[in-house]
A and B are shown apart, each in its own frame.
Chain A
């Protein structure tokens, strides 16, 4: 052995996108600087381009058939599995939210707890939402008339800007639990917890393409998603307070009658009881008439 041991070369992580179950770099080759809550440099994150958005929509569309036709019970198991794996990687998430949101250790613990619990809570809804929003309708004829919820399709989600983990989980879980697939634009300034969450998704039986995560300024990709004819719904929660941008996206989304979950005036309190509205926002109603007595 040599007398002086050389310093170990540091192994630094390249933060990438999550598209179709893989972690590609941005097609554009660009990245941007991500700082922590105190303004100190943390990492370079991939800056998604419109072509990444297009690829993500393609991946989401491809995954939709398989994901939406899984049994609700199976989707519940998979979401619960996500919660399990997240719980397992708790220290990593604690660090991530402390760094990106500048939380103290007690607050950070609370946020991670809530995020894991939220997944478990939504997982439980997978096989119950049909009973709550579906119905057997009385009709004037010898028919069973049954309404049941169906997933809308590919949902483009602008994730909350401030709450980078709990907020993210709270918008992604309700969309996918009912069978939708998603393209998620992570918080622009706090994207790293979203990519760490993507690593959890990639290792917990969620099929590739069900959740696709893009990082970078929403202004670069959101308009393309809003205009995209193969996107069925748009969640603008991440544009809370930015009425002008939200209105422009809503106008683009009208071309193919996307369902739009409008931007709230201010970012919601993610620790509050979420209710079922985020699930029903991305559900269609299918009604079947079936003759009685045959």
Chain B
């Protein structure tokens, strides 16, 4: 099926279409669940463990990355029971700094590569970008697909690019950096395209599928994540391989994060309720999670003054 553009297209366009209204209604419905007390406390801790703490600014400095790394390791310095975040997500040139700051804490370093965020570069440049990041010690690579190629229907090109980047993730010792494939769903126009992109990326060997770069609005939304979760569920049913999902961008409040967790539980089940299979790409989200967590432990509403700005 991946032998030619035509066969790939036949397969992707043969996927059942997404009922837009139904999908949005289902996502909205799942968003109304009330999660309180002990369930909420658990959800908050799980969400903190799932955060890929992200800084992707032109003005990033080694100092900022180090500060972010220490925040990822101990999000709430006042409370030793607060779990660490999953990873720190940075540009490739900051990988070494982040790796150095994180040491053997268990917090991963994720690097965005392949001419992030636009993906507008020649393939060998994208591959060199990826290899650089892997060599510098990145545990995870977040690549962007070529949306231009995808939207023109050159699916095979997108597929082969993912395969090539996947190969570039290999380390000399035989292991490989985890590959997350970013679709930039805000540019894919339709849910059908999101479903097609999900299958394409999973077939090409992506370990994670990720909604957005965070540079384009709209970024992650509940319905888009629903479509992607359904895709990883169906993919496991067909092939037995499990693929992770990472909504990124636009998730700012603990309430939103809990809505996503409810959806994961309802759509794909408990197996995915783990930082190895579900992540949040976010920066401001962590502070709100911490504020809610503090509210749960102290009983009083907290304020942003009591947490680090990043």
Contact = CB atoms under 8 A, between A and B. Distances in A.
Nearest to B306: A229
B304 interface: yes
A57 B302 CA distance: 11
A64 B16 CA distance: 50
B29 interface: no
A228 B300 contact: yes
B303 interface: yes
B303 A230 contact: yes
Contacts of A256: 303
A227 B303 contact: no
Interface residues of A, number: 12
Interface in B20-52: none
A224 interface: yes
A190 interface: no
A61 interface: yes
A224 B303 CA distance: 13
A262 B306 CA distance: 26
Interface residues of B, number: 8
Nearest to A226: B300
Interface string A217-236: 00000001001111100000
Interface in A231-260: 231, 252, 255-256
A54 interface: yes
Contacts of A231: 303
A28 to B, nearest CB: 14
Interface string B290-310: 000000000111111110000
B305 A230 contact: yes
A255 B300 contact: yes
Contacts of B302: 229-230
Q: Which of B301, B302, B305, B306 has the most CB of A within 10 A?
A: B301
A269 B126 CA distance: 75
Nearest to A231: B303
A121 to B, nearest CB: 33
A227 B305 contact: no
Q: Which of A228, A231, A255 has the most CB of B within 10 A?
A: A228
Contacts of B301: 54, 57, 224, 227-230
A260 to B, nearest CB: 16
Contacts of B300: 224, 227-229, 252, 255
A168 B78 CA distance: 40
Interface in B255-310: 299-306
Interface string A117-155: 000000000000000000000000000000000000000
B297 to A, nearest CB: 13
Interface string B108-148: 00000000000000000000000000000000000000000
Contacts of B305: 229-230
A108 to B, nearest CB: 39
A212 to B, nearest CB: 15
B103 to A, nearest CB: 32
Interface in A67-104: none
Nearest to B301: A228
A98 B299 CA distance: 41
Interface string A35-66: 00000000000000000001001000100000
B199 to A, nearest CB: 41
B40 to A, nearest CB: 14
B231 to A, nearest CB: 36
A88 to B, nearest CB: 38
Nearest to B302: A229
B131 to A, nearest CB: 44
B291 to A, nearest CB: 9
Nearest to A227: B300
Interface in B200-248: none
Nearest to A54: B301
Contact of B304 (A228, A230, A252, A255): A230
Q: Which of A230, A231, A252 has the most CB of B within 10 A?
A: A230
17 contacts: A54-B301, A57-B301, A227-B299, A227-B300, A228-B300, A228-B301, A228-B303, A229-B300, A229-B302, A229-B305, A230-B302, A230-B303, A230-B304, A230-B305, A231-B303, A255-B300, A256-B303
Given A227-B299, A229-B302, A230-B302, 9 more contacts: A61-B303, A61-B304, A224-B300, A228-B303, A229-B300, A230-B303, A230-B304, A230-B305, A256-B303
Closest 8 CB pairs of A and B: A230-B303, A227-B300, A229-B303, A228-B301, A229-B302, A54-B301, A229-B306, A229-B300
